[in-house]
């Protein structure tokens, strides 16, 4: 393998480790500490073994006469191709501290969004688990005991609904392993379907959920493009680089094509053709291109997309809560009416 293609075999940094890496690196370089001293401090004081290894290896490369802009590209598998290229450009343009700060802010925003989505999914997950638990409790413990008490007290046959619940409990008990297998299969299928929706065109076109997928990817894209352009990277290269970490293949392909459209069209027209950006965003791009303020326009669009993403997540939660309440209401009506009817007949 050629020297230019060589990459160090250091495990990939997690999102939190990336945030820590750029935070530590920027804290030193932003204080006008020399690059080698900053790397030496990271080697000594960082809490992450991976970050220590990166700092040690970079120091060795620089001591051997290689410049930072080339050396950092050997960590694409560890830090990420996008971020290594941005740091390389920043080192060449003398804007490395600013690039580190911008990347750090971008990753922190990404983490906040991910945590928001995770927190949003915890509530329905807990309700779903409680619903399953309550159903099993009623089927295997409450319903059989109530049925026995009913028969002992009245000597009559069970009501149709109670008889159905008892037969259902007996059927589940005798086929417990099959039921568990089917349940696990359903969970696995649901996870795969969810992953497919995150990456496919179908997921983007779904109501509400599609908006979350779309704006989450646009948020990542717009931030990286703004950072790349501010660092001096040509806009076509910036688009290609910003497309790389996107999770949805449909959105990625659409935005990727913009890099070829720019040869004959403006950036605003190219982005308008994707159908992902609002007319207000396109207007800002047009104004930025005409006045030479494209840098500021990209930053404003990135902020606007972040605000829209937060609104969309709130809307998704507001839609999900009534749906969950409806499912619980159906459960209460079916089981509750059956049990209460049996109790009143005792």
Residues 235, 338, single domain; the answer is yes
Return the pLDDT at 217: 92
Return the pLDDT at 344: 53
- Inside any domain, residue 87: no
Which domain does 260 fall in, by range?
95-346
Residues 225, 118, single domain; the answer is yes
Return the pLDDT at 155: 64
**Cα three-residue angle 69-72-77, rounded to 5 degrees:** 145
CB–CB of 73/85 below 8 Å?
Answer: yes
265 DSSP assignment: S
Q: Last residue of a domain, which of 79, 110, 144?
A: 79
- Inside any domain, residue 90: no
Residues 125, 237, single domain; the answer is yes
CB–CB of 58/72 below 8 Å?
Answer: yes
List pLDDT tens digits, range 116-174: 877 777 777 777 777 777 777 777 777 677 667 666 666 666 666 667 666 766 776 67
- Inside any domain, residue 84: no
Residues 75, 176, single domain; the answer is no
Element (H, E) at 141: none
Spatial CB neighbours of 96, under 8 Å, sequence gap ≥ 6: 29, 68, 87, 90
- Inside any domain, residue 86: no
Low-confidence ranges of the chain (pLDDT < 50): 1-4
Query: In residues, how long is the chain?
Result: 346
CB–CB of 66/79 below 8 Å?
Answer: no
- Inside any domain, residue 119: yes
Residues 170, 54, single domain; the answer is no
CB–CB of 219/113 below 8 Å?
Answer: yes
Residues 184, 228, single domain; the answer is yes
Element (H, E) at 201: helix 201-205
Residues 102, 68, single domain; the answer is no
E strand intervals along 97-249:
none
Residues 260, 112, single domain; the answer is yes
Q: Last residue of a domain, which of 55, 79, 103?
A: 79
- Here the tokens at position 119 are 């927190």
- Inside any domain, residue 85: no
The helix-helix angle for 81-93 and 96-137 (nearest 10°) equals: 160
**Closest of 320, 326, 324 to residue 207, by C-alpha:** 320
Residues 73, 131, single domain; the answer is no
Residues 253, 342, single domain; the answer is yes
- Inside any domain, residue 45: yes
Return the pLDDT at 345: 52
155 DSSP assignment: -
Q: Last residue of a domain, which of 48, 79, 110?
A: 79
**Cα three-residue angle 200-206-208, rounded to 5 degrees:** 125
Specify the pTM.
0.77
DSSP string, 174-200: HTHHHHHHHHHHHHHHHHHHHHHHHHS
CA pseudo-torsion sign 106, 111, 114, 120: negative
Residues 169, 31, single domain; the answer is no
- Inside any domain, residue 214: yes
Residues 108, 39, single domain; the answer is no
CB–CB of 239/259 below 8 Å?
Answer: yes
DSSP string, 25-74: HHHHHTTT--HHHHHHHHHHH-S-HHHHHHHHHHHHHHHTT--HHHHGGG
CA dist., res. 33 & res. 290, Å (int): 39
**Cα three-residue angle 111-310-300, rounded to 5 degrees:** 90
**Closest of 252, 240, 239, 241 to residue 199, by C-alpha:** 252
Question: What is the CB-side half-sphere exposure of residue 86 using CA atoms within 13 A?
Answer: 30
The structural domain count of the chain equals 2
């Amino acid at each position: 393998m050629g020297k230019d293609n060589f990459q160090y075999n250091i495990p990939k940094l997690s999102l939190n480790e990336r945030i820590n890496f750029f935070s530590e690196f920027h804290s030193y370089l932003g204080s006008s500490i020399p690059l080698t001293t900053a790397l030496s401090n990271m080697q000594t004081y960082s809490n992450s073994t991976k970050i220590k290894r990166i700092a040690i290896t970079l120091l060795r490369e620089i001591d051997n006469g290689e410049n930072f802009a080339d050396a950092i590209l050997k960590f694409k598998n560890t830090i990420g191709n996008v971020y290594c290229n941005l740091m390389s450009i920043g080192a060449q343009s003398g804007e490395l501290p600013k690039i580190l700060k911008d990347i750090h802010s971008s990753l922190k925003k990404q983490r906040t969004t991910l945590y928001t989505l995770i927190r949003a999914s915890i509530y329905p997950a807990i309700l779903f688990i409680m619903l399953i638990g309550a159903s099993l409790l009623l089927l295997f413990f409450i319903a059989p005991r109530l049925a026995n008490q009913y028969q002992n007290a009245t000597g009559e046959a069970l009501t149709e609904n109670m008889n159905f619940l008892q037969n259902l409990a007996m059927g589940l008990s005798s086929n417990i392993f099959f039921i568990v297998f089917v349940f696990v299969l359903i969970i696995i299928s649901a996870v795969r379907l969810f992953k497919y929706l995150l990456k496919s065109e179908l997921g983007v076109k779904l109501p509400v959920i599609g908006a979350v997928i779309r704006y989450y990817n646009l948020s990542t894209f717009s931030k990286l493009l703004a950072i790349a352009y501010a660092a001096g990277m040509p806009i076509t290269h910036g688009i290609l680089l910003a497309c790389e970490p996107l999770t949805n293949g449909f959105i990625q392909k659409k935005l990727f094509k913009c890099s070829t459209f720019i040869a004959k069209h403006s950036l605003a027209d190219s982005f308008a053709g994707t159908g992902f950006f609002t007319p207000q965003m396109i207007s800002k791009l047009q104004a930025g291109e005409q006045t030479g303020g494209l840098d500021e326009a990209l930053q404003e669009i990135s902020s606007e997309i972040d605000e829209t993403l937060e609104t969309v997540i709130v809307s998704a939660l507001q839609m999900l809560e009534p749906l969950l309440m409806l499912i619980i209401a159906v459960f209460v009506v079916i089981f509750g009416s059956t049990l209460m009817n049996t109790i009143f007949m005792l």
